[in-house]
Chains A and B, each alone.
Chain A
Amino acid sequence: MIFLRRRLPLLITMITGLLFAGQYYVPHPASEWLLTSATKWLQIIGGFALVLGVTSLFHQHAVKIRRQEAGWGYSLVLYAGMLVTIAVGLWAGGKESLDGSMTAFGWIYSYMMVPLQGTMFAILAFFIASAAYRSFRARSREAAVLLIAAVIVMMGRVPLGEYLIPLSGDVSQWILNVLNASVRRAILIGVSLGTIALSLKIIFGVERSYLGGGKE
């Protein structure tokens, strides 16, 4: 049983990993066919993964409603919003517009989901301002460098800044194109090496956390 529950999954990971890492260097039609099929499969599996991701939320709020925990009324609102959207969406054939006219599903999307999500992120504008006022202090030389660079970029990327200090546009452009690019490049190289190392650890069974806990 341990073979079926533990070793076989690790073997599957190793074989698929090595196969598709090698596939990149083999431009044979059979190898290309393999890539086409596998990525097509991933598309379909991706749909199931999406459902898996959102359904854990159902469970969490269902428990809250059943036990009538504090704020269970809001969980009810969540459920109502979800069920109405699903019903309306299925009725509209999953389309936001049909023959150029907005469907009820499209209406929910445009007038509920878009403003809700947009505003949820827009309020961060206020919090970033408040955080900047409270903690953006030149406590050390490094912090002063960070502060000066931020001010130059903030000035240089808006018309008023370029109008008041014409050089700020060019200087911020140089900061982005040269100084920022060099750091981002180093980070990109470092992160990529880390990704490659992690992928190799997964393929060779050193990293196994993706299999989850549970019984062997």
Chain B
Amino acid sequence: MPQPVSVTDMDATILGAWMATGLTLFIFSFLYQDNPLFKLAEHLYVGVSVGYTIVKAYDTVIVHLIVKPIVEEGQIALLIPVAIGLLMLTRYVPRAAWMSRYAFAFIVGLGSGLAIPRTISSFVLKQVEDTIRPLLFQAGDGLTFSFNLLNPASSLNAVIILIGVSTVLFYFFFSIEHSGPGKIVARTGIVFLMIAFGAAFGYTVMARMSLLIGRLTDLIEFSDVSYGRPTWWLLMLTIAVLVLLARRVPNRPPDLH
């Protein structure tokens, strides 16, 4: 149920709808051709995003993670990461830039140390285990071998997974010229890869279309009379500006393909 809003809230929402619609249409105008409206929106996007990040970093890091714990709780040890962080910023002072290496050395060393055992455990051992274990269980059962392709845990699928993993790994790791049985294995790997790329393409299409659906849903919402129909008015304005711009620069045909 919508919350009752005060006059100021309502005004802010309507003004917001006009702003959001205008900026959305300015970016969509790029689909016709590159133009100043798009460039304006693009630069505003970068500026606002950077400003937002700086404010959040200040509020979260400086205020809540550094100042409050040090001043209110006396956690003096936190001055060490502050010093390391400040060392990073010496990158901007050419004479002292080498000092930033200490900060990067610490971060990169720590990051690598944290990553090694966790990656081995999570992505190497667990994935190899799950490729082999289903087959061992089948062998243990002795008599059962399920052929149901639609059951992801069936024996047939376990064998297909093993073939897929081994052939793709073979194709990646043995980048020599394949011949004989090696050629068959590598080609099987390529077929598996192509199918996975096809699935990835299908999902990418799905994702991109979803984003468009999201933006168009907002534009439809903002075409409502309660907002003053910003979608219609601003669409007309955007088209008018594009027409005017096209007349001003008649010699520059847009990139059609």
Contacts and interface: CB of A to CB of B under 8 A. Distances in A.
Contact between A and B in the complex (any CB pair below 8 Å):
yes
A118 B51 contact: no
B102 A116 contact: no
Classify the interface of chain B: helix, strand, loop or mixed. Answer: helix
B52 interface: yes
B252 interface: no
A116 B51 CA distance: 14
Interface string A127-170: 01000101000000011011111111110011000000000001
B224 interface: no
Contact of B85 (A45, A177, A186, A200): A45
B105 A13 contact: yes
B247 to A, nearest CB: 21
B57 to A, nearest CB: 5
Nearest to A184: B196
A99 B109 CA distance: 43
A195 B203 CA distance: 26
Q: Chain A contact residues (Cβ within 8 angstroms of B): what range?
A: 35 or more
Q: Chain B contact residues (Cβ within 8 angstroms of A): what range?
A: 35 or more
Nearest to A84: B51
A77 B193 contact: no
B176 interface: no
A214 B202 contact: no
Contacts of B168: 182-183, 186-187
A94 B59 contact: yes
Interface stretch (B118-126, B136-144, B238-246): B118-126
Nearest to A177: B152
B128 interface: yes
B221 to A, nearest CB: 12
B30 interface: yes
Nearest to B78: A44
B27 A123 contact: yes
Given A146-B195, A149-B198, A186-B164, A195 B55 contact: no
B202 A149 contact: yes
Nearest to A200: B116
A58 B47 CA distance: 9
A187 B19 CA distance: 44
A77 B19 CA distance: 16
Interface string A42-56: 111111111110110
Nearest to B97: A214
Nearest to B130: A185
Nearest to A113: B48
Nearest to B27: A119
Given A81-B48, A82-B51, A107-B12, A47 B60 contact: yes
A19 B56 CA distance: 32
B231 interface: no
B124 A119 contact: no
A143 B195 CA distance: 10
Nearest to A94: B59
Given A145-B191, A153-B203, A190-B172, A122 B108 contact: no
Nearest to A90: B55
Contact of A115 (B202, B205, B215): B215
Contact of A150 (B112, B201, B212): B201
Given A126-B212, A145-B198, A179-B196, 6 more contacts: A17-B110, A51-B89, A86-B55, A117-B45, A128-B208, A179-B192
The 8 closest A-B pairs by CB, nearest first: A182-B164, A149-B198, A94-B59, A81-B47, A85-B51, A47-B61, A20-B113, A153-B202
20 contacts: A5-B98, A21-B112, A21-B114, A21-B117, A43-B81, A44-B81, A47-B62, A47-B85, A48-B89, A80-B47, A81-B48, A89-B56, A93-B59, A105-B55, A115-B218, A119-B215, A145-B198, A174-B157, A179-B192, A185-B131
Interface of B: 9, 12, 15-17, 19-21, 23-24, 27-28, 30-31, 39-63, 65-66, 77-78, 80-82, 84-86, 88-89, 91-92, 97-98, 100-120, 123-124, 127-128, 130-131, 149-150, 152, 157, 160-166, 168-169, 172-173, 190-206, 208-209, 211-212, 214-215, 218, 257
